[in-house]
C-alpha cells in the first residue's frame, strides 16, 4: 500500500528564496515542494506538502494527521521549533513517526535556536542540508515504513 506522508512547514518558509538567502539559499518554496514531490514519487509515497504562518493552523494539521491515519510526517516547525509547547504537544500525540527537518543547522546558529521542543518526539532530525534535508528525511522514513 502507498504510504501517505505529510510535510508540514511553519512560519516564513513560504518566503524561501527571498528570505535571508545567505542562510536558507536561493531555492524557492515551490522548489521545496517540487523536491518533496519528486523524492516521494521515487520512494513510492503519496506526499502532501503544506505551509502556514499561523500556529493554530499548524496544530490543527497535526491533529488532522493523527485523525486521518497519515503514515508518517516530516515537520519543519521553523521558529515554533524553539518556542512552541503547543506544537510539541500536538506532535507528541502523533502515533505516526515523524522526522524533524531544518534547511539550516540550528545548532550552528544563535543560542536560542539550540533548543527544540519537538526533536525529543521525533524519530530523528535532519538539519543543515538545505532542500536535501527533506529528501534525506523521506528516505529515512521510507526505510522504516512497512512495504
Ligand atoms: C529553520 C530554522 C529555524 O531556526 C528558523 O526559525 C526557521 C527555519 C530551518 O529550516 O533552517 O524559520 O527551521
SS3 state of residue 9: strand
Q: Enumerate the H helices of 43-107 as residue ranges.
A: 55-68, 85-92
* Ligand 1, pocket-test mutation among 8, 78, 99, 122, most atoms within 8 A of CB: 78
- Ligand 1 centroid to Cα of residue 132, in Å, is 14
- Check residue 147 and give its pLDDT: 67
- Check residue 92 and give its pLDDT: 98
Residue 51 in contact with ligand 1 by CB distance below 6 A: no
102 as an active site residue: the answer is yes
pLDDT tens-place string over residues 26-49: 999 999 999 999 999 999 999 999
Cβ 117 vs Cβ 86: under 8 Å = no
pLDDT tens-place string over residues 71-113: 999 999 999 999 999 999 999 999 999 999 999 999 999 999 9
- Check residue 66 and give its pLDDT: 98
Q: Output the pTM of the full model.
A: 0.97
pLDDT above 90 (res 146): no
- Check residue 35 and give its pLDDT: 98
pLDDT tens-place string over residues 52-68: 999 999 999 999 999 99
The rounded mean pLDDT for the chain is: 97
Which of ligand 1's atoms lies nearest the C-alpha of 104? 11
Amino acid at each position: 500500500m502507498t504510504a501517505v506522508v505529510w510535510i508540514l512547514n511553519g512560519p516564513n518558509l513560504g518566503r524561501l528564496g527571498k528570505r535571508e538567502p545567505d542562510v536558507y539559499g536561493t531555492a524557492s518554496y515551490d522548489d521545496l515542494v517540487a523536491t518533496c514531490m519528486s523524492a516521494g514519487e521515487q520512494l513510492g509515497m503519496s506526499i502532501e506538502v503544506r505551509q502556514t504562518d499561523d500556529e493554530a493552523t499548524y496544530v490543527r494539521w497535526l491533529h488532522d494527521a493523527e485523525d486521518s491515519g497519515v503514515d508518517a510526517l516530516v515537520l519543519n516547525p521553523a521558529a515554533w521549533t524553539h518556542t512552541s509547547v503547543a506544537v510539541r504537544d500536538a506532535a507528541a500525540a502523533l502515533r505516526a513517526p515523524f522526522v524533524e527537518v531544518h534547511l539550516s543547522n540550528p545548532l550552528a546558529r544563535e543560542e536560542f535556536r539550540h533548543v527544540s521542543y519537538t526533536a525529543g518526539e521525533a524519530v530523528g532530525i535532519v538539519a543543515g542540508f538545505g532542500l536535501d534535508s527533506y529528501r534525506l528525511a523521506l528516505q529515512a522514513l521510507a526505510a522504516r515504513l512497512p512495504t
